[in-house]
Amino acid sequence: MDEMLLQYFKKITDEEKALLKGHTDIQKGIYTSQKEFVVDNAKLLQKGHLIEIRPHTRFAHFPKHRHNYVELVYMCCGTTTHIINDTEQIVLNEGDLLFLNQSATQEILPAGRDDIAVNFIILPEFFDRALSMVERDHVLRNFLISTLSNDHSQLPYLHFPAKNILTIQNLIENMLWTLVNKKPGTNTINQITMGLIFMNLSVFAESMLPNQTGSYEQDLIFRILKYIETHYKNGTLTDICAELRLPDYYVSRLLKKYTDHTFKELLQQQRLQQAVYLLSQTTLSVNHIMEAVGYNNSSFFYRIFRKKYGCSPKDYREGKPFPACNNLL
């Protein structure tokens, strides 16, 4: 990272000065007014802004919390240890990226003076442009969609050890400079930059997964979700287990652990997502779409579609004013 930028983020904040003087806890009032510890974007974002940055608070344990926005943690130097959803311990090293959606809980162990992480506070609508830039059948795109629609069937977080991907490091640094300098009229630039970051992550994702237990499991989840994305019509748990050479009980447990859903539920989510895409982007009949996504029972298809979106496929296509029909998949 550019040395001037790094020195900017190394500055001791007022909250950190209090900690160094003997205070043992972070100042919760900076982050939320709620009894439950949900970090509030209204506390951290300037009015009318979709994205902001702030350095992670060092020298103290950051207790378990959630966010009402999307958080991107970028590790400038050193390390930080994050506990996600009470079970997953992730160590971020220099150059790493960690995306957390609104459903993920996070706890952070104390960081030292040279452990510099930057938190991006991002409202979901900031990702509108990035969404259009990412390949449709990709885990990253589904993460964005689940974030935009408040649908928690996908992974609650994504971790990328990206230190050696120079293009990603350059894009992140460019965005940091833009946000630090606070020049007006840069929102579109930042949105496009984020889209380019996602495009590069989608290309280099597999090469960024190191041989650690947590990353091994995340790699498996990526492969399972990718299988579902490309085999939604005829995919089965038996087939993906055979491909991975793993027992079905292990894959089922892994999916439940990381997504809180079964293979069958995720497959159905993908089928409905594809159905919505075809309804909005093609003139195929509803029956053709139903068969194209893997259903041969129209009653069942109509029932689960209405349960998910609150309207029929026909009404969804015609944009009838059912509230749930406006959900973004």
More reliable by pLDDT, 30 or 323 = 30
Give the contacts of 106 (CB within 8 A, at least 6 positions apart): 62, 64, 65, 66, 67, 71, 82, 83, 84, 100
pLDDT of 180: 94
Sign, Cα dihedral of 81, 82, 87, 89 = negative
Reply yes or no on whether the pLDDT at 206 is more than 60.
no
Of 69-78, 150-159, 224-233, which has the strongest mean pLDDT?
A: 69-78
| Cβ atoms within 10 Å, residue 263 | 22
How would you list the strands of the sheet with 106-108, edge to edge? 38-39, 62-67, 106-108, 80-84, 88-92
Sheet holding 116-122, edge to edge: 51-55, 116-122, 70-77, 96-100, 157-161
Residue 153 has what pLDDT? 55
- In this prediction the pTM is 0.68
Is residue 298 very low, low, confident or very high in pLDDT (cuts 50, 70, 90)? Answer: very high
The CATH number given to 210-329 is 1.10.10.60
pLDDT of residue 321: 43
The secondary element (H helix, E strand) that includes residue 135 is none
Residues of the chain with pLDDT > 90, as a percent, come to 53
| Residue range(s) occupied by CATH 2.60.120.280 in the chain | 3-208
AA identity, residue 65? H
Both tokens of 105, joined, read 């809980």
| Topology at the third CATH level for domain 3-208 | Jelly Rolls (2.60.120)
- The DSSP code for 127 is G
Q: Which of 20-34, 243-257, 290-304 has the lowest mean pLDDT?
A: 243-257
For residues 193 and 173, what is the distance between their CA atoms, to the nearest angstrom?
Answer: 10
Residue 141 · residue 205 · CB < 8 Å: no
Instruction: Write out pLDDT tens, residues 125-184.
Output: 898 888 888 766 566 777 777 776 666 555 788 888 888 899 999 999 999 999 999 888
120-159 in b/e burial notation, b at 16+ Cβ within 10 A? Answer: bbbebebbebbbebbeeebbbbbbbbbbbeebbbbbbbbb
- How far apart (Å, rounded) are the C-alpha atoms in residues 128 and 194? 10
Q: How far is CA 159 from the centre of its chain?
A: 9
325 pLDDT higher than 80: no
Task: Supply φ then ψ for residue 48, to 5 degrees.
Answer: 90, -5
Mean pLDDT, range 292-302, rounded to an integer:
93
DSSP per position, 235-263: --HHHHHHHHT--HHHHHHHHHHHHSS-H
Query: Residue 35 carries which side chain, given as an amino acid letter?
Result: K
- Is the model's pLDDT at 329 over the cut of 80? no
The pLDDT value recorded for residue 137 is 57
Q: How far is CA 158 from CA 7, 29, 111, 200, 201, in A?
A: 27, 28, 21, 14, 11
Q: Is the pLDDT of residue 255 over 50?
A: yes
Cα dist from 18 to 12, 23, 41, 88, 109, whole Å: 10, 6, 23, 30, 18
Among 62-71, 220-229, 259-268, the range of highest mean pLDDT: 62-71
Q: Tens of pLDDT along 259-272?
A: 888 999 999 999 99
Kindly report, as residue ranges, where domains of CATH 1.10.10.60 are found in the chain: 210-329
